[in-house]
Each structure stands twice: as C-alpha cells, then as structure tokens.
C-alpha cells in the first residue's frame, strides 16, 4: 500500500523536473502527448478515475451506474414497451437488469481501452507523437531515466488497474450470460405451453346431441352417440 503513493510522488517529481529541464533532456514530445502526463490526465478524468479507486468505492460506482440505467431506462422500456407486460413481470425485470449490466459493461470496456492505451505507451521504449496535429507522426526513443520511470509507473500503477478491469469484464459477461439463459428458458417454457392442445368450453355453443338434431345430414355417416 505504501508503494503506490511513493511511486506517484516519484513520478510527479520526475515529471516536473523533466518539464523544467526540457532543453536538457531533448524531449521533443509535446507535454500533453507525453505518457506520464497522459497517465495523470487519465487518472483524474471521468470515468477512468473510477478504476483506480479502492475496491468498495469502485464497485459502488459501477453498481449505482447499472442500477440507475436499469431503473430509469431499462425498466420503463421493458415494462411498457411490449404488450402483456403485466403477465410476465419476471421477464421484464430480467430485461431491465440485463440493460443495466450492459451499460456497466460498456463503461468498463471504455475504461479498459483508455488504461490499456496509456499503459502501452508507458511500457514502450518509444513514443509516437505528432508535432503539429497534421498527422506528421514522429517517434522518440525514451532515455534510460524516462524509460525506467515510465515502466515503473506502468508496472505498479497501470497493470493492477487493468487486472481489476479484466476481472470486472469477466464477471459482467457471466452475469449477462446467466440472464440470457434464464430469458431463453422462460421463452421456451411459454412456447411449450402455447403449443399444448386446449379444450375450451364456450358458453352458448350447442352440444353434439343438439348438432345432430339441427343438422342430421352432417352426421349421417357417423355412429350414434350412446
């Protein structure tokens, strides 16, 4: 636990010294494109900063996001968007829960892509950058000091975040799969019930005996009822 704060302070000190001594380090990469600055920007931006929080706060943010989406968007659409919704409340609730899980999955995927991009730039020995923004791509080879600092930060600060996001994605995918299987099972049971033959008694419709009395020609070749 004490490694991360000291590592961050080391990275901040190294970053400030590099910014103050840019002519001495001969780093041509613009400040906003330097991996160390990209890391600091990512770790304080929404929603990427969630991934670096403690486990309880991280899980609570995801839970609130998924629950809010499920209640405000998924549940109204599932409940009022199809006919006969009141006859299948369990199915509608599962659809709403699935929508919340899907929204959280998209957010976690977005976080993972951002952290993976910054992590690759920190661990790489070279930095790709653009001087003017007109797609004039350049490559700068990191110095030994910058490479050691970036790889230290990437190994101890970015990789744990990526591992947490991977575990989260696996858990979300498993939950979505379970919801999908339950929904498929519910639909299958309903299809079987709808295909079963039903004998309906309609009030006011005459019986076979009455039909034989009123339409004897239609029952001429059939045996008499006992």
Domains in the chain: boundaries: 3-219
Give the separation between CA 178 and CA 72, rounded to whole angstroms.
Answer: 22
**Any alpha helices (H) in 70-158, and if so which ranges?**
75-80, 89-123, 144-153
Give the separation between CA 106 and CA 110, rounded to whole angstroms.
Answer: 6
Digitized pLDDT (tens) for each residue of the chain, 226 residues in all = 444 444 555 454 454 444 443 434 578 899 999 999 999 999 999 999 999 999 999 999 999 999 999 999 998 888 887 645 555 788 888 999 999 999 999 999 999 999 999 999 999 999 999 877 666 788 999 999 999 999 999 999 999 999 999 999 999 999 999 999 998 888 665 555 555 555 454 555 556 666 666 666 666 666 665 5
CB distance 151 to 162 below 8 Å: no
CA triple 55-59-60, angle to 5 deg: 115
List, as own/partner pairs, every contact residues 172-177 make where C-beta atoms lie below 8 angstroms and the sequence separation is at least 24, other chains included. Answer: 172/101, 172/104, 172/105, 172/108, 173/105, 175/101, 176/98, 176/101, 176/102, 176/105
CB distance 103 to 71 below 8 Å: no
This prediction's pTM:
0.72
CB distance 130 to 28 below 8 Å: no
CA 225 vs CA 99, 208, 214, 219: distances in Å:
59, 9, 15, 11
Residue 156 CB: number of other CB atoms within 10 A?
15
């Amino acid at each position: 636990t004490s490694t991360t704060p000291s590592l961050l302070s080391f990275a901040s000190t190294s970053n400030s010294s590099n910014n103050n001594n840019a002519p001495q380090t001969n780093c041509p990469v613009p400040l906003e494109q330097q991996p160390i600055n990209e890391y600091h920007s990512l770790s304080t931006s929404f929603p990427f900063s969630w991934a670096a929080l403690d486990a309880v706060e991280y899980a609570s943010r995801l839970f609130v996001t998924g629950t809010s989406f499920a209640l405000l968007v998924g549940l109204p659409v599932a409940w009022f968007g199809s006919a006969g919704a009141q006859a299948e409340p369990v199915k509608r609730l599962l659809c709403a829960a699935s929508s919340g899980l899907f929204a959280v999955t998209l957010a976690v995927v977005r976080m993972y892509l951002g952290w993976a991009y910054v992590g690759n730039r920190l661990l790489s020995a070279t930095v790709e950058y653009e001087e003017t923004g007109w797609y004039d791509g350049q490559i700068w080879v990191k110095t030994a000091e910058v490479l050691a600092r970036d790889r230290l930060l990437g190994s101890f600060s970015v990789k744990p975040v990526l591992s947490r996001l991977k575990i989260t994605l696996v858990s979300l995918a498993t939950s979505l799969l379970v919801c999908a299987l339950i929904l498929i099972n519910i639909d299958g049971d309903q299809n079987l019930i709808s295909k079963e033959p039903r004998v309906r008694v309609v009030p006011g419709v005459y019986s076979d005996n009455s039909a034989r009395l009123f339409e004897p020609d239609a029952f001429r070749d059939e045996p008499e009822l006992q």
